Structure 1
Amino acid sequence: MCGIVGGVAERNLVPILLEGLKRLEYRGYDSSGMAVLNDSGLPESSQQSEILRIRGLGKIAALEEKIDAFDQGEFKGQIGIAHTRWATHGAPAENNAHPHICNQSIAVVHNGIIENYQSLKARQIDLGYRFTSQTDTEVVAHCIHRHREHTGCLLKAVMQAVEQFEGAYALGVVSIHDPETLVAARKGSPLVIGVGIGEHFIASDVSALLPVTQRFIFLEDGDVAEIRRDAITVYDKQGKVVERPVKQSSLTASSVELGEHRHYMHKEIFEQPQAVTDTLEGRITQDAVLVNAFGNEAERWFESVEQVQIIACGTSYHAGLVARYWFEDIIGLPCQVEVASEYRYRNPVVRNNTLIVTLSQSGETADTLAALQQIKQLKQEKNLPTLTICNVPESSLTRESDMTFLTHAGPEIGVASTKAFTTQLVALALLITAVGKTQGRMSSEQEQKIVQGLQKLPGLVKNTLENEDLIAKIANGFADKTSALFLGRGTMYPIALEGALKLKEISYIHAEAYPAGELKHGPLALVDEHIPVIAIAPNDELLEKLKSNLQEVKARGGQMIVFEDEKSCVDAHGDFEVVKATTNVGRITAPITFNIPLQLLSYHVALIKGTDVDQPRNLAKSVTVE
């Protein structure tokens, strides 16, 4: 949610900042902006530096056009900050776009929400500060300006200012009075420092800086960093100098490029066989799951677990719902799943010896992180081991948890999650097996069967992707549709929920999912020839019941699209469109595999509808604020 990039160098930073914004555009695309200290601010100049700023409404391309047209290409600077916005406070508008400037001397970019901004704003108005936007970020600029006047130092000004802020923030700050210094700060919103030679950078995530460096410092909550061309100094929340390790990223610039694909979502759908392979690598042998893949102390933690609590949001929540069936059906361990934004506010009763599992693609999801922090307060009284399943190393959730399992999905740029969801399911399958074998709830034969199924999974996913042409043809029938129903039973109900979410996210079609057995309890009233009904039909013990539910739809004249196992043999005639999506899948591999055609369906329907597939309206990739 919103993207920051900045830097200080011995070369013109504008092209680097612009490229960084393009790579962060998935985080927000309502508006964007850039501010640089012009060349007159360099030490060898005797002139006073000034802040040059350009802001644009809409996507980065609009900002790029303005930069190209600026005063015959004179928009240049060797220190600067830039931002792409997903609106929270204040509608998408140029005056609300970042960077925000105070008295032509301080420029700020900000991710997060300053919760006490109204009281700060009232105080600042009394002090004579003028506001030109509806954002909460302007109070940050004014607050830093006021402290800079008193301290004469940008670093001290930021340190004093952040003590007044309640909420979450990642900040990049420059000043005309400190023309060689970029100051960064973070609390609750991610921020990394890219380490170069004679130049250093900041960004919301590493993908923005891959063209210029693969060496990164991951700031921790409460950190403030002073960044100069020749030095990086990090201070912790107590104001003490600390050493944060420099880590080498395995990602490359090409890993976040489209290649031959039209959209990132399409690219990421087709990366799933490799993502599954990478997530399994080093976590299984030929016939067993390695328990220590969840951490060196995992076996000790798992031995005492009496129940599981999964906390997540959105797509990750759906992955948790699938896992609930697995935990209770396969190893007989009670499991609860809850949306993080509800869990953290309802004063839940947490029983002793509960394994707390948080799921997040980014590891920075605000509600999930807050729920985990709330649970950690109970750990003094109860045994509550915590595990985060996440796609981003060094994220806040990974640092807050006792155990971490990284899904090696690679960068996911499309807002609609695909490979992150699939690899979360793989991770959860490994988790139930690890817990089951540790507690003696699973035989070695069961474990071997699950492992063998997971080893087949990349091939199953690849085979399912071969249905794309047929699915694209089916998608043509959605051109005039405004609503859809998804049906599933057992583990396929959460997959139906996920399919409906994908269709909503990127095609803007109203879609709902129900357990197929619930049709007669209300949803059947919606069924007519105008509403397509999408069903998932694996060859399992609930197949015959599902077939009866499909007949109920047929009897009401509904348009039926069924994704089935080749052995399910759903009767295909009349308004039934049947896709033999896969075969030879088990209770673990079935939901993972059947998810793939639903992703393809939503993608091709979005193409038919002409929507922005990778950057759907009103949505951003990482929800790092409430």
Structure 2
Amino acid sequence: MCGIVGGITKNNITPLLVDGLKRLEYRGYDSAGLVVLTSKNILQRVRAAGKVVNLENSISPEVNGMIGIAHTRWATHGKPTIKNAHPHICNNNVGVVHNGIIENFLALKTQQQAQGYHFTSDTDTEVIAHGIHQALKNCDTLLQAVQQAVTLFQGAYGIGAISPKNPGHIIATRSGSPLVIGLSDKGNFIASDQMALLDITKKFIFLEEGDIADITLDSVTIFDKNGKQVEREIKISKLKSGQVSKGEYTHYMQKEIFEQPQAIRDTLESRISKNKVLTSAFGHNAKTIFQNTEHIQIIACGTSYNAGLVAKYWLEDIAKIPTHIEVASEYRYRNPIILDNTLFITISQSGETADTLEALKAVKKRNKNIHSLTICNSAESSLTRESELTFLTHAGPEIGVASTKAFTTQLVSLALLSVAIGRCHNQVSEQQEAVIVDGFNQLPNLIAKALEQEDQIIKLAKTFKDKFNALFLGRGAMHAIAMEGALKLKEISYIHAEAYPAGELKHGPIALIDKDTPVIAIAPNDELLDKLKSNLQEVKSRGSQMIVFEDETSNVMPMDGMDIIPITHNLGRITAPIIFTIPLQLLSYHIALIKGTDVDQPRNLAKSVTVE
């Protein structure tokens, strides 16, 4: 969600702060701001609503200093206005940026108003600035003030703070919201995401829960949640600055759609060998855990939830393990029955999804006889640290808010998992495994072939110019793929779209079908094909425009007002959901272009949802 960048250097920090914010734009935001501590030891702040470029154009020459913090805000408390934009300043003596939500801010605000503090925003963050300022009255250093103030805050936070009272220091702390420290010969930096600093350094320290760091030009001192000084490992990032550029593509989303063949090759690399899935790829004790697994619970949000829905079909079909899936934001607030020998699987592109992370923490407290596995795209994320087993997708940086390659690599990862568990339970023979692995090896080329249908899809997209609703249909695992297609269309084109199991049409949704509501159907050549064809006849008789993405061997009968796009052929139960995802991504992308929306940064959305 929100983005934090800060640093202390030997030269003017302002250009580096602006550049860092630009690199975090993909996370989603609605305002931006920065504050620097000038050579005269004065806090100089600039804020702007809208894009980072608006902030950049508002910066005057006097906003110049060697130490500063900056922020892109995604509105939670208070409208997306300049007064609510970060940084927040208290009495010209404390500057603060904050990711997360302070849940007890109303009580703190009432208390601080009684102490004489004046509030200039509607945000929860302002209580942080006032709280640190109040503590600073009785402390010798900004570090001590932050250590004292954070004991008041309930909720999630990643905080960067500076003060004229303690120049030359940035204090950074995290609890439930990620924060990293970048180390460089140019100085030292903080950020909510290492991508903000890739042009400056590859050396990072990932703060752990409750850590508070005192950062100067040439030192970093870290204290844990108990106030004890600790050493945290310095890690070298493998990301490259060029990986987060659009290159020859118009949008990040377009680039990431076309990167999927390589992303899947990278995800499969070192995970399959000699016609076998390597169970050890899930962790050194994965085999024992899988052998003892009797139940599986999947928790995820958004696109990752759709991937989990597909995995439920695979795990029950291939591994013969009872599998349940639930949206994390609902699961964490009820009292589920957690059976012993359950494998608790979390799925998250960033590994920082707040609801998913908190659900895992809650489950671990309630039942000690479960094992946990996370599937995510970030090696240094909170979920990887919290989980017993980790399987990393190798999608590479995904900048577009609407997930594409992260989704398909999640599917590949979950398919590998299904085979590995199935083999551990003697449900998958060597011959079956060899056939499935052969399908994995064919995936990159099959996706490349599906991408060749782009020209036809562009023509279909033009028919959506004046559409405001759409229905997606699928059966079996393809219902989950239809859900993902509908989600993509909603996210980036703002067309209202819903997905239904095709067999449910007669139970209500068919009432929505008319000439102004296009229907998109997925028709693989599987055991449900004939029933799907009957459903398509029902739709067509109601006068709807139809688009059918089919296996070349499905032989859907053409009808007036129906466009049939063959995608590929002879797909199996694992490869089919992955391949049929591709045309739905392309369709949503090109409809969004026609609608003129902000494809990479759609309104109201954030890439990493790190708050509830």
TM-score range, shorter chain: over 0.9
8 Å CA contact retained: 2:338, 2:367: no
Report the equivalent of 2:531.
545
Q: 2:180: which partner in 1?
A: 192
Indicate the residue corresponding to 1:45 in structure 2.
Answer: none
- Match 1:617 to one of 593, 603, 606: 603
Q: Does 1:242 align with 2:234?
A: no
Does residue 314 of structure 1 match 2:306? no
Deviation at 1:543, TM superposition (A): 0.7
Indicate conservation of the 8 Å contact 1:27/1:85, yes or no: no
Residues 157 and 174, structure 2, Cα contact 8 Å, conserved in 1: yes
- 2:277 partner amino acid: V
TM-score under structure 2 normalisation? 0.99
Moved over 3 A (4+): none
Counterpart Cα distance in 1 of 2:528 and 2:257: 28
Partner of 1:135: 123
Instruction: Identify the residue that residue 263 of structure 2 maps to in structure 1.
Output: 275
1:603 to 589, 592, 597: 589
> Is 1:50 aligned with 2:50?
no
Where does residue 16 of structure 1 map in the other structure? Answer: 16
Aligned to 1:339: 327
Q: In the alignment, is the contact (CA less than 8 A) between 1:415 and 1:620 conserved in 2?
A: yes
TM-aligned CA deviation for residue 351 of structure 1? 0.8
| Displacement of 1:198 | 4.7
CA distance in 2, matches of 1:283, 1:394: 20
Counterpart position of 2:425: 439
Q: What is residue 158 of structure 2 aligned with on the other side?
A: 170
* Residue number among 56, 62, 65 corresponding to 1:64 in the alignment: 56
Preserved CA contact (<8 Å) 1:216 1:248: yes
Q: Are 2:81 and 1:96 equivalent residues in the alignment?
A: no
Q: Which residue of 2 aligns with 1:43?
A: none
Q: Take 2:589 and 2:291, find their aligned partners in 1: how far apart are those partners?
A: 43
For 1:57 and 1:611, the matched residues in 2 are separated by: 19
Q: Is the aligned partner of 1:253 residue 2:241?
A: yes
Of the candidates 452, 455, 467, which is equivalent to residue 466 of structure 1? 452
Partner of 1:349 in structure 2? 337
Q: Which residue of 2 aligns with 1:38?
A: 38
Amino acid at match of 2:35: A
Paired position in structure 2 for 1:505? 491
**1:488 aligned onto 2:480:** no
Whether 1:409 aligns to 2:395 is yes
Q: Distance in 2 between matches of 1:602 and 1:404?
A: 31
Report the residue type matching 2:25 in the other structure: E
> In the alignment, which of 329, 351, 355 is matched to residue 363 of structure 1?
351
Distance 1:399 1:608 in 2: 42
Q: Deviations over 1:143-166 (max 9, x none)?
A: 001111110210010111111100
How many Å separate the matches in 1 of 2:24 and 2:426?
Answer: 46
The 3-state SS of whatever aligns with 2:402 is coil
State the Cα deviation string for residues 202-230 of structure 1 (Å, max 9, x = none): 11111110010011100001000000111
* d(CA) in 1 for partners of 2:390, 2:367: 17
* Residue from 502, 512, 515 that aligns with 1:526: 512
- Residues 260, 447 of structure 2: 8 Å contact kept: yes
**Contact 2:99–2:159 at 8 Å: present in 1 too?**
yes
Q: 1:493-513 CA distances to partner (integer Å, 9 max, x unpaired)?
A: 000000000000010000000
Specify the code of the residue in structure 2 equivalent to 1:433: V
Separation (CA, whole Å) in 2 of partners of 1:612 and 1:455: 35
Q: CA deviation at 1:423?
A: 0.6
What is the CA–CA distance in structure 2 between the aligned matches of 1:103 and 1:495, rounded to whole Å?
Answer: 53
Contact 2:319–2:425 (Cα < 8 Å) also in 1: no
- 2-structure distance, mates of 1:495, 1:132: 46
**Residue correspondences, number:** 612
2-structure distance, mates of 1:18, 1:198: 16
- Deviation of the 1:330 alpha carbon: 1.7
What is residue 304 of structure 1 aligned with on the other side? 292
Is the Cα contact below 8 Å between 2:280 and 2:287 reproduced in 1?
yes
Give the CA deviation at 1:13.
1.1
* TM-score scaled by length of structure 1: 0.97
Partners of 1:77 and 1:245 in 2: how far apart?
30
Establish whether residue 584 from structure 1 lines up as the match of residue 570 from structure 2: yes
Unaligned runs of 5+ in 2: none
2:202 to 214, 238, 244: 214
Matched, 1:477 2:463: yes
**Structure 1 unaligned residues grouped into runs of 5+:** 41-48
State the Cα RMSD in Å: 0.8
Equivalent AA in structure 2 for residue 272 of structure 1: Q
How far 1:332 sits from its partner (Å)? Answer: 1.4
1:51 maps to amino acid: L
Aligned partner of 1:79 in structure 2 is 67
Spell out the pairing of 1:149-168 with structure 2 (5 A cutoff). Answer: 149-168=137-156
Supply the distance in 2 between the matched residues of 1:586 and 1:529 (Cα, whole angstroms).
Answer: 34
SS of the residue corresponding to residue 377 of structure 1 reads helix
